[in-house]
């Protein structure tokens, strides 16, 4: 092959790769083509591991080895028939739901305040909201231990100094410390979607309400709040999913004995090495979480039916 032929051949070889159907599909702007890399990532790192996890819940695993032909539903049956399991599941749920609700109550005023500020103050507030996300959640959990913990912890020192309590109070290793930690750590995930929806709102619509005789409070509940439901749904779904499935916070702030479903999964898989029981609880945790998120989204859809209405 002479030099000219080689030069001619090289680009055509390159074009050959560029014209591979997979590459063309990825570059086309229609269909699932452009999503192929992301889909591949999800299949390898999510679908396959989840399927494995799910299948472990039906098999007996003995010292890290799957016992062949051991398929059975009894692992699920024994978990669902266990009173203790339901008590723990209920605790997971109400801790997650309550901290989500408190997050919503705390986040809404912050997000609303954001929309009333000038551009410099907005940037500062945004930094303040996002900054905690730059440190590890673990570090923040330890910080809460220092603040809440012990007779000489920051919290008790302040309360005693101010004379608000007579004896040191116990907050660490109770429901309270878990709720406080979860709320603080997940608050940004509630604030950000709310800011997004509130910033984009049309203030003239609120002016119309004022003009029609509604005061500021009434205008908020009749106009601003209903129109921000999409942000509430996004934040609520996000924070609930995070809180419901978190295991670090209950474990560290609840003391060693504070068990939620997520903590149990961790203990079965990492400490006790009973993968089957761990997989059963993980499957139930993820499945129920999915159902709850769907319920939140569905409730949001019902509350925002008007967004579906289009010129017909």
Partner 1 sequence: MHVEVDSLDKSFGPTRVLKGCSLGIDRGEVVTLLGPSGCGKTTLLRCIAGFHVPEEGRVVIGGRDMTLVPPWRRDVGMIFQSYALFPHLDVRRNVEYGLSVRRVARAERDRRVAKAIEIVSLGGLADRYPSQLSGGQQQRVAIARVLVLEPTVLLLDEPFNALDAKLRYAMQVELRKLVKNLGITTIFVTHDQSEALTLSDRVAVMRGGEIEQVAAPLGVYDTPASDYVADFIGSANAIAGEARAGRLEIAPGVGLASRVEGGAVAIVRPENLRVEPIESETDDAWCGRVGFVRALGATVEYEVEVPGRDAVKVLALRLASDDVLELGQVVRVSLRDPDACPVLPAPAR
Residues near partner 1 (CB under 8 A) are 202, 204-205, 207-215, 218, 222-223, 226-227, 304, 306-307, 309-312
How many Å apart are CA 216 and CA 210, to the nearest integer?
A: 7
Question: Smallest distance, Å, CB 105 to partner 1?
Answer: 22
Measured from the CB atom, is 3 or 302 closer to partner 1? Answer: 302
Question: Smallest distance, Å, CB 225 to partner 1?
Answer: 10
Q: Which of 288, 273, 235, 223 is nearest to 92 (CA)?
A: 288
Rounded to 5°, the CA angle 177-236-244 comes to: 45
Measured from the CB atom, is 193 or 230 closer to partner 1? Answer: 230
65 phi and psi, to 5 degrees? -115, 135
Measured from the CB atom, is 82 or 218 closer to partner 1? Answer: 218
Question: Smallest distance, Å, CB 199 to partner 1?
Answer: 17
How many Å apart are CA 296 and CA 304, to the nearest integer?
A: 12
Question: Smallest distance, Å, CB 129 to partner 1?
Answer: 27
CA distance to 59, 78, 84, 264, 273, per residue, from 74 (Å):
10, 6, 17, 19, 19
Per the CB < 8 A criterion, the answer to whether 88 and 259 are in contact is: yes
Measured from the CB atom, is 154 or 208 closer to partner 1? Answer: 208
Question: Smallest distance, Å, CB 145 to partner 1?
Answer: 45
Measured from the CB atom, is 157 or 211 closer to partner 1? Answer: 211
């Amino acid at each position: 092959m002479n030099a000219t032929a080689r030069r001619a051949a090289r680009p055509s070889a390159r074009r050959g790769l560029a014209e591979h159907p997979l590459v063309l599909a990825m570059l086309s702007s229609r269909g699932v083509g452009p999503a192929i890399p992301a889909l591949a990532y999800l299949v390898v790192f999510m679908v396959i591991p989840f399927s494995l996890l799910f299948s472990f819940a039906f098999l007996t695993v003995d010292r890290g080895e799957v016992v062949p032909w051991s398929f059975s539903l009894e692992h699920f049956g024994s978990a669902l028939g266990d009173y203790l399991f339901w008590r723990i599941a209920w605790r997971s749920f109400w801790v997650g739901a309550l901290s989500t609700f408190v997050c919503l109550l705390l986040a809404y005023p912050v997000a609303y305040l954001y929309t009333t500020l000038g551009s410099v103050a907005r940037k500062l507030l945004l930094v303040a909201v996002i900054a905690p996300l730059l440190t590890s959640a673990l570090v923040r959990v330890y910080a809460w231990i220092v603040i809440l913990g012990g007779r000489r912890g920051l919290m008790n020192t302040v309360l005693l100094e101010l004379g608000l309590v007579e004896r040191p109070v116990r907050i660490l290793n109770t429901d309270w410390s878990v709720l406080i930690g979860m709320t603080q750590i997940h608050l940004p995930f509630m604030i950000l979607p709310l800011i997004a929806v509130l910033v984009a709102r049309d203030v003239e619509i609120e002016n119309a309400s004022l003009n029609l005789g509604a005061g500021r409070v009434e205008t908020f509940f009749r106009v601003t709040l209903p129109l921000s439901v999409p942000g509430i749904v996004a934040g609520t779904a996000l924070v609930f999913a995070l809180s419901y499935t978190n295991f670090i916070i209950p474990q560290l702030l609840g003391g060693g004995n504070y068990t939620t479903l997520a903590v149990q999964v961790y203990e079965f898989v990492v400490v006790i090495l009973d993968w089957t029981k761990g997989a059963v609880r993980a499957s139930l945790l993820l499945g129920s979480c999915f159902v709850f998120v769907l319920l939140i989204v569905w409730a949001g859809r019902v509350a925002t039916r008007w967004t579906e209405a289009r010129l017909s």
